[in-house]
Structure 1
Amino acid sequence: MSVAGVVVDDAGRVLLIQRRDNGHWEPPGGVLELDEAVHEGLCREIREETGLEVEPGRLTGVYKNMARGIIALVFRCRVVGGDLVETGEAKAFRWARTDELDGLMAEAFAVRVQDALRDGNAPAVREHDGVRVV
């Protein structure tokens, strides 16, 4: 299972990382360790990829990659410490506005950010093929 954090700043922008392995822009996150609690793993992944300490908020979506069988849990987060630093996983960072998402990332990842920014209590549940929502 994987987790991702939609880290939102006071201006309503979201933090995106540019992955070193494929150059894609995505919210930070990754695969949970076997013995790791969900929020613990989320915070670890974001810290490892960005240098930031975050506080997880509500679960905003559950997404299944139908081609690979991976389920991702996405949480809205806020920064509580640390500084952005390049890492072995992220070569660049960007605070993006919602109107910039479609030009930066695949639909399967842009929808995660859009869902996290929507008001409401119920998380979205969606399927995708790795690129497009199906």
Structure 2
Amino acid sequence: MTRVDHINDPNAPEPNSVVPSTTAFIEDGAGRIVLIQRSDNGDWAMPGGAHDFGETISQTAVREAKEETGLDIEITGLIGIYTDPGHLAEYSDGEVRQQFSLCFRAVPIGGEIQTSEESLKVQWFSEAETASVRINSSMRLRIKHGFQGLREPYIG
């Protein structure tokens, strides 16, 4: 399945779903974060995905991080809640999803970096290094907030 992100695009299709999802700002002791290169659109992003029945939203972040990066993580906080109606994800199956994502702060506690069906590459990046790869503006905002270490979660 492919994905196209529409951000403040007046020609974007109308949304037909809202799915709670997560991203994980996984930071190591050297101040680097893990990003994946998504297999559905080639963009770089924090690991994350849709909330499943039977799990808490923080369990979603832990599961998605493991699936997409191979890392076991511990959630240490909430960076923010991102619900911009101007950010739509259009999938090749016809779904057009309005953004609804909780971004969690996390640390790695085990596992080994590996790719998956959803991640072409998995790499550690310093804040400066994130500027050199293709990241959509919505994801870039979450990364910025993560590195800023905001006292209160972002709500927007």
- Fold shared per TM-score above 0.5: yes
- Report what 1:121 is aligned to: 151
Provide the TM-score with structure 2 as the length reference.
0.76
Shift of residue 117 of structure 1? 1.9
1:103-122 maps to which residues of 2 (within 5 A)?
A: 103-104=132-133, 105-122=135-152
Shift of residue 34 of structure 1? 2.4
- Report what 1:8 is aligned to: 27
- Report what 2:115 is aligned to: 86
1 CA distance for matches of 2:76 and 2:56? Answer: 15
Deviations 1:30-63 (A, max 9, x none): 0000221111111111101111100011100111
List alignment gaps of at least 5 residues for structure 2: 1-19, 89-96
Alignment identity in percent?
A: 31
Secondary structure of residue in 2 paired with 1:42: helix
4+ residue runs of structure 1 moved beyond 3 angstroms?
A: none
Shift of residue 99 of structure 1? 1.8
Secondary structure of residue in 2 paired with 1:33: coil
Larger Rg: 2
Code of the aligned partner of 1:21: D
- Report what 2:105 is aligned to: 76
List alignment gaps of at least 5 residues for structure 1: 127-134
Structure 1 window deviating more from structure 2 (71-80 vs 98-107): it is 98-107
User: In structure 2, do the counterparts of structure 1 residues 102 and 64 end up closer, same or farther at CA, with 3 Å as the change threshold?
Assistant: farther
- Report what 1:54 is aligned to: 73
Aligned residues: 126
**2:43 aligned to which of 4, 20, 24:** 24
Provide the TM-score with structure 1 as the length reference.
0.87
